[in-house]
Amino acid sequence: VAAISLLVGGIGIMNIMLVSVSERTREIGIRKSVGATNQQILGQFLVEAIILTLLGGLIGIAVSAISTFVLRLYTDIHPYIEPKVVGIAMAVTLAVGIIFGIVPAAKAARKDPIESLR
Q: Residue ranges of the domains in the chain?
A: 2-116
Stretch 35-43: mean pLDDT, rounded? Answer: 96
Confidence class for position 95, pLDDT limits 50, 70, 90: very high
Instruction: Give pTM, 2 decimals.
Output: 0.85
CA contacts within 13 A on the Cβ side of 110: 6
Q: What is the pLDDT of residues 50-90, one digit of tens each?
A: 999 999 999 999 999 999 999 999 999 888 899 999 999 99
The torsion angle over the Cα atoms of residues 41, 46, 52 and 54, rounded to 10 degrees, is -140
1 pLDDT higher than 90: no
pLDDT of residue 14: 95
